[in-house]
Amino acid sequence: MELDLGAVRAFVTVADERHFGEAATRLGLSQQAVSKRIARLEDDLATTLLHRSRSSGTSLTSDGDAFLPHARALLTVADQAVAALRARRRPLRIDVLGTWLASTELVREFYQSTGVEVEIVTSQGLRDARPALADRSVDAAFARVIGTLDESIAHHPAYLEPLHLLVGRRHPLARRRSVTVAELVGGTAWMPDNQPGSEWADYYEALEEELGIRIDTTGPHFGFDHLLEELGRSTDWFSFAAERMRVPWYPDVVQIPIVQPIPVYPWSLLLNRHHPHPALPRLVRHVAENFTPLDPARQWVPPADRASFG
Protein backbone atom coordinates (compact mmCIF):
# COMPACT_ATOMS: atom_id res chain seq x y z
CA MET A 1 0.00 0.00 0.00
CA GLU A 2 1.27 3.47 -0.92
CA LEU A 3 0.08 6.18 1.44
CA ASP A 4 -0.54 9.73 0.24
CA LEU A 5 1.59 11.96 2.48
CA GLY A 6 -0.76 14.86 1.83
CA ALA A 7 -3.63 12.81 3.22
CA VAL A 8 -1.50 11.70 6.18
CA ARG A 9 -0.63 15.35 6.91
CA ALA A 10 -4.31 16.29 6.73
CA PHE A 11 -5.16 13.54 9.21
CA VAL A 12 -2.46 14.62 11.68
CA THR A 13 -3.56 18.26 11.43
CA VAL A 14 -7.21 17.40 12.05
CA ALA A 15 -6.14 15.21 14.99
CA ASP A 16 -4.23 18.19 16.43
CA GLU A 17 -6.91 20.81 15.80
CA ARG A 18 -9.94 18.55 16.47
CA HIS A 19 -11.81 20.52 13.84
CA PHE A 20 -11.83 20.26 10.03
CA GLY A 21 -12.27 23.99 9.51
CA GLU A 22 -9.29 24.95 11.68
CA ALA A 23 -7.18 22.20 10.09
CA ALA A 24 -8.08 23.53 6.64
CA THR A 25 -6.98 27.04 7.65
CA ARG A 26 -3.67 25.74 9.00
CA LEU A 27 -3.01 23.75 5.82
CA GLY A 28 -4.11 26.52 3.47
CA LEU A 29 -6.78 24.28 1.91
CA SER A 30 -10.54 24.30 1.69
CA GLN A 31 -12.47 22.27 4.24
CA GLN A 32 -13.82 20.16 1.41
CA ALA A 33 -10.27 19.33 0.24
CA VAL A 34 -9.27 18.24 3.74
CA SER A 35 -12.38 16.03 4.00
CA LYS A 36 -11.55 14.40 0.67
CA ARG A 37 -8.00 13.66 1.75
CA ILE A 38 -9.14 12.07 5.00
CA ALA A 39 -11.75 10.01 3.16
CA ARG A 40 -9.14 8.79 0.70
CA LEU A 41 -6.78 7.82 3.53
CA GLU A 42 -9.55 5.94 5.33
CA ASP A 43 -10.37 4.12 2.10
CA ASP A 44 -6.72 3.16 1.62
CA LEU A 45 -6.51 1.86 5.19
CA ALA A 46 -9.97 0.28 5.08
CA THR A 47 -10.91 1.77 8.43
CA THR A 48 -12.39 4.84 10.08
CA LEU A 49 -9.86 7.13 11.69
CA LEU A 50 -12.04 10.01 12.88
CA HIS A 51 -15.45 10.46 14.50
CA ARG A 52 -17.20 13.55 13.11
CA SER A 53 -19.74 15.38 15.23
CA ARG A 54 -21.36 18.79 14.69
CA SER A 55 -21.77 19.26 18.44
CA SER A 56 -18.46 17.98 19.79
CA GLY A 57 -16.16 18.41 16.78
CA THR A 58 -13.78 15.66 15.69
CA SER A 59 -12.26 12.86 17.75
CA LEU A 60 -10.06 9.86 17.02
CA THR A 61 -11.37 6.34 16.71
CA SER A 62 -9.35 3.55 18.31
CA ASP A 63 -7.72 2.87 14.92
CA GLY A 64 -7.07 6.58 14.47
CA ASP A 65 -5.44 6.73 17.90
CA ALA A 66 -3.23 3.74 17.02
CA PHE A 67 -2.29 5.19 13.64
CA LEU A 68 -1.48 8.74 14.85
CA PRO A 69 2.08 8.21 16.22
CA HIS A 70 3.07 6.32 13.06
CA ALA A 71 1.58 9.08 10.93
CA ARG A 72 3.63 11.67 12.80
CA ALA A 73 6.77 9.55 12.28
CA LEU A 74 6.07 9.32 8.54
CA LEU A 75 5.79 13.10 8.27
CA THR A 76 8.95 13.65 10.34
CA VAL A 77 10.99 11.42 8.04
CA ALA A 78 9.49 13.06 4.94
CA ASP A 79 10.19 16.56 6.25
CA GLN A 80 13.75 15.63 7.17
CA ALA A 81 14.33 14.24 3.68
CA VAL A 82 13.10 17.45 2.06
CA ALA A 83 15.16 19.59 4.45
CA ALA A 84 18.29 17.57 3.68
CA LEU A 85 17.88 18.18 -0.05
CA ARG A 86 17.21 21.87 0.46
CA ALA A 87 20.33 22.13 2.62
CA ARG A 88 22.38 20.66 -0.22
CA ARG A 89 21.08 23.25 -2.64
CA ARG A 90 21.26 26.41 -0.56
CA PRO A 91 24.36 28.63 -0.48
CA LEU A 92 27.07 28.05 2.10
CA ARG A 93 26.46 30.65 4.83
CA ILE A 94 29.74 32.05 6.14
CA ASP A 95 30.07 34.47 9.04
CA VAL A 96 32.71 37.21 8.74
CA LEU A 97 33.67 40.07 11.04
CA GLY A 98 33.41 42.68 8.30
CA THR A 99 33.28 42.81 4.53
CA TRP A 100 36.39 45.04 4.40
CA LEU A 101 38.60 42.48 6.21
CA ALA A 102 40.70 39.51 5.09
CA SER A 103 37.99 37.05 6.15
CA THR A 104 35.78 38.22 3.29
CA GLU A 105 38.72 38.02 0.87
CA LEU A 106 39.26 34.39 1.92
CA VAL A 107 35.61 33.64 1.15
CA ARG A 108 35.87 35.43 -2.20
CA GLU A 109 38.93 33.38 -3.18
CA PHE A 110 37.11 30.17 -2.23
CA TYR A 111 34.12 31.17 -4.34
CA GLN A 112 36.26 32.11 -7.34
CA SER A 113 38.29 28.89 -7.25
CA THR A 114 35.42 26.45 -6.61
CA GLY A 115 32.21 28.09 -7.86
CA VAL A 116 30.43 27.06 -4.65
CA GLU A 117 27.58 29.46 -3.90
CA VAL A 118 28.17 31.42 -0.71
CA GLU A 119 26.19 33.84 1.42
CA ILE A 120 28.10 36.35 3.56
CA VAL A 121 26.83 37.06 7.08
CA THR A 122 28.51 39.91 9.01
CA SER A 123 28.66 39.84 12.79
CA GLN A 124 30.60 40.98 15.85
CA GLY A 125 33.17 38.24 15.53
CA LEU A 126 33.58 35.21 17.77
CA ARG A 127 30.92 36.30 20.27
CA ASP A 128 28.28 36.00 17.52
CA ALA A 129 29.87 33.12 15.60
CA ARG A 130 29.85 30.74 18.58
CA PRO A 131 26.04 30.59 19.03
CA ALA A 132 25.40 30.88 15.28
CA LEU A 133 27.54 27.81 14.61
CA ALA A 134 26.01 25.90 17.52
CA ASP A 135 22.44 26.44 16.30
CA ARG A 136 23.50 26.02 12.65
CA SER A 137 22.23 29.41 11.54
CA VAL A 138 25.60 29.72 9.78
CA ASP A 139 27.70 26.95 8.24
CA ALA A 140 31.16 28.36 8.91
CA ALA A 141 32.88 31.42 10.32
CA PHE A 142 36.25 33.17 10.13
CA ALA A 143 37.52 34.59 13.42
CA ARG A 144 40.39 34.49 15.88
CA VAL A 145 39.76 31.80 18.48
CA ILE A 146 40.05 32.67 22.18
CA GLY A 147 38.67 30.87 25.20
CA THR A 148 36.92 27.51 25.17
CA LEU A 149 34.68 26.54 22.27
CA ASP A 150 31.67 24.25 22.39
CA GLU A 151 32.76 20.66 21.74
CA SER A 152 30.64 20.66 18.57
CA ILE A 153 32.76 23.43 17.01
CA ALA A 154 35.98 22.57 15.17
CA HIS A 155 38.53 25.15 14.04
CA HIS A 156 41.35 25.09 11.50
CA PRO A 157 44.17 27.63 10.96
CA ALA A 158 43.22 29.73 7.95
CA TYR A 159 45.47 32.75 7.47
CA LEU A 160 48.21 34.74 9.18
CA GLU A 161 47.66 38.35 8.16
CA PRO A 162 50.53 40.84 8.56
CA LEU A 163 49.85 44.11 10.36
CA HIS A 164 50.65 47.48 8.80
CA LEU A 165 51.21 50.81 10.45
CA LEU A 166 48.87 53.75 9.81
CA VAL A 167 50.46 57.18 10.37
CA GLY A 168 49.86 60.75 9.32
CA ARG A 169 52.17 62.23 6.69
CA ARG A 170 53.71 64.54 9.31
CA HIS A 171 54.71 61.61 11.52
CA PRO A 172 58.51 60.99 11.69
CA LEU A 173 58.03 57.46 10.28
CA ALA A 174 55.77 58.47 7.41
CA ARG A 175 58.45 58.28 4.69
CA ARG A 176 59.72 54.82 5.65
CA ARG A 177 59.18 51.76 3.42
CA SER A 178 58.97 49.55 6.49
CA VAL A 179 59.07 50.07 10.23
CA THR A 180 60.56 47.72 12.84
CA VAL A 181 58.78 46.79 16.04
CA ALA A 182 61.69 48.29 17.99
CA GLU A 183 60.97 51.69 16.45
CA LEU A 184 57.40 51.52 17.75
CA VAL A 185 58.25 50.53 21.31
CA GLY A 186 57.16 53.26 23.69
CA GLY A 187 54.83 54.77 21.09
CA THR A 188 51.04 54.81 21.35
CA ALA A 189 48.64 53.12 18.96
CA TRP A 190 45.14 54.59 19.06
CA MET A 191 42.52 51.87 18.57
CA PRO A 192 39.10 53.03 19.87
CA ASP A 193 37.34 50.09 18.18
CA ASN A 194 39.03 47.49 20.42
CA GLN A 195 35.86 46.30 22.13
CA PRO A 196 36.53 44.84 25.61
CA GLY A 197 36.32 41.06 25.55
CA SER A 198 36.64 40.82 21.76
CA GLU A 199 39.22 38.55 20.19
CA TRP A 200 40.95 41.49 18.48
CA ALA A 201 41.18 43.47 21.73
CA ASP A 202 42.74 40.37 23.31
CA TYR A 203 45.25 40.22 20.43
CA TYR A 204 46.37 43.82 20.94
CA GLU A 205 46.58 43.36 24.71
CA ALA A 206 49.05 40.53 24.06
CA LEU A 207 50.92 42.71 21.56
CA GLU A 208 51.18 45.49 24.13
CA GLU A 209 52.45 43.12 26.80
CA GLU A 210 54.99 41.23 24.66
CA LEU A 211 56.18 43.87 22.18
CA GLY A 212 55.96 46.97 24.37
CA ILE A 213 53.72 49.06 22.10
CA ARG A 214 51.11 50.98 24.08
CA ILE A 215 47.48 50.57 22.99
CA ASP A 216 45.07 53.43 23.70
CA THR A 217 41.41 52.38 23.36
CA THR A 218 39.84 55.62 24.55
CA GLY A 219 36.92 56.68 22.43
CA PRO A 220 34.23 56.97 21.50
CA HIS A 221 34.78 55.32 18.13
CA PHE A 222 33.21 57.48 15.42
CA GLY A 223 34.18 55.22 12.53
CA PHE A 224 37.24 54.57 10.43
CA ASP A 225 37.05 57.83 8.50
CA HIS A 226 37.22 59.78 11.76
CA LEU A 227 40.19 57.69 12.90
CA LEU A 228 42.05 58.48 9.67
CA GLU A 229 41.24 62.15 9.96
CA GLU A 230 42.65 62.31 13.49
CA LEU A 231 45.78 60.35 12.51
CA GLY A 232 46.31 62.76 9.63
CA ARG A 233 46.54 65.62 12.12
CA SER A 234 48.86 63.85 14.56
CA THR A 235 52.67 63.83 14.56
CA ASP A 236 53.09 61.16 17.23
CA TRP A 237 50.09 58.81 17.32
CA PHE A 238 49.61 55.87 15.00
CA SER A 239 47.27 52.94 14.51
CA PHE A 240 47.28 49.49 12.92
CA ALA A 241 45.57 48.04 9.88
CA ALA A 242 45.74 44.50 8.58
CA GLU A 243 47.53 44.03 5.25
CA ARG A 244 44.40 42.96 3.33
CA MET A 245 42.06 45.37 5.09
CA ARG A 246 40.45 47.74 2.61
CA VAL A 247 41.48 51.03 4.18
CA PRO A 248 39.62 54.06 2.78
CA TRP A 249 42.00 56.37 0.93
CA TYR A 250 42.86 59.46 2.94
CA PRO A 251 45.40 61.97 1.57
CA ASP A 252 47.15 62.66 4.89
CA VAL A 253 47.62 59.03 6.02
CA VAL A 254 50.09 56.38 4.82
CA GLN A 255 50.20 52.62 5.38
CA ILE A 256 53.58 51.00 6.13
CA PRO A 257 54.53 47.31 6.64
CA ILE A 258 55.90 46.33 10.08
CA VAL A 259 58.94 44.03 10.33
CA GLN A 260 61.40 42.42 12.79
CA PRO A 261 59.20 40.64 13.71
CA ILE A 262 56.09 40.89 11.55
CA PRO A 263 53.01 40.91 13.82
CA VAL A 264 50.42 38.67 12.15
CA TYR A 265 46.75 38.31 13.01
CA PRO A 266 45.69 34.63 13.22
CA TRP A 267 42.43 33.89 11.39
CA SER A 268 40.80 30.49 11.92
CA LEU A 269 38.01 28.72 10.06
CA LEU A 270 35.32 27.53 12.48
CA LEU A 271 32.55 25.05 11.70
CA ASN A 272 30.07 22.76 13.39
CA ARG A 273 31.42 19.18 13.40
CA HIS A 274 27.88 17.83 12.95
CA HIS A 275 26.76 20.20 10.19
CA PRO A 276 25.62 18.40 7.03
CA HIS A 277 26.26 21.06 4.36
CA PRO A 278 28.05 19.20 1.53
CA ALA A 279 30.31 22.13 0.60
CA LEU A 280 32.02 22.31 4.01
CA PRO A 281 34.69 19.69 3.20
CA ARG A 282 35.64 21.69 0.09
CA LEU A 283 35.99 24.87 2.17
CA VAL A 284 38.17 23.09 4.75
CA ARG A 285 40.35 21.62 1.98
CA HIS A 286 40.67 25.00 0.24
CA VAL A 287 41.76 26.70 3.46
CA ALA A 288 44.27 23.94 4.32
CA GLU A 289 45.82 24.01 0.84
CA ASN A 290 46.37 27.78 0.98
CA PHE A 291 47.55 28.09 4.58
CA THR A 292 51.20 28.96 5.28
CA PRO A 293 52.29 28.03 8.84
CA LEU A 294 53.84 30.49 11.26
CA ASP A 295 57.52 31.32 10.80
CA PRO A 296 58.65 32.10 14.39
CA ALA A 297 61.90 33.62 13.15
CA ARG A 298 60.05 36.29 11.18
CA GLN A 299 56.50 36.50 12.53
CA TRP A 300 54.84 37.16 15.88
CA VAL A 301 51.51 35.98 17.26
CA PRO A 302 50.26 35.92 20.84
CA PRO A 303 51.46 32.93 22.88
CA ALA A 304 47.93 31.49 22.91
CA ASP A 305 47.95 31.12 19.10
CA ARG A 306 51.41 29.64 18.56
CA ALA A 307 50.54 25.98 18.99
CA SER A 308 47.63 26.14 16.51
CA PHE A 309 49.47 28.10 13.82
CA GLY A 310 52.99 26.70 14.06
CATH of the domain at 188: 3.40.190.10
Say yes or no: 214 and 234 in one domain.
Answer: yes
Say whether both 172 and 244 belong to one domain: yes
Per-residue pLDDT at 216: 95
- Give CA–CA dist 135/138, Å, rounded: 8
Instruction: Tell whether 218 is covered by a domain.
Output: yes
- Domain range enclosing 181: 161-263
Q: CB of 127 within 8 A of CB of 198? A: yes
Strands 299-300 and 262-272: parallel
Bond preceding residue 266 cis, omega within 30 of 0 = no
Give pLDDT, residue 219: 82
One domain for residues 151 and 101: yes
From 56, 74, 89, the end of a domain falls on 89
Q: Between vectors from CA 133 to CA 78 and to CA 301, what angle results, nearest 5°?
A: 155
Ranges of the chain whose pLDDT falls below 70: 1, 55-56, 84-89
Domain shared by 168 and 253, yes or no: yes
pLDDT of residue 182: 96
Q: What is the pLDDT of residue 74?
A: 92
**Beta strands 118-122; 92-96: pairing state:** parallel
210 lies in the same domain as 134: no
55 shares its domain with 133: no
Indicate whether 305 belongs to any domain: no
Residue 94, pLDDT score:
95
User: What is the pLDDT at residue 88?
Assistant: 62
The domain total for the chain is 3
Residues 78 and 215 in one domain: no
Residues 105 and 242 both lie in one domain: no
141 and 289 in a single domain? The answer is yes
> Per the domain annotation, does 130 fall within a domain?
yes
User: How many residues in the chain?
Assistant: 310
248 shares its domain with 274 = no
Across the strands, what pairs with 198? none
Let me know if residue 100 belongs to a domain: yes
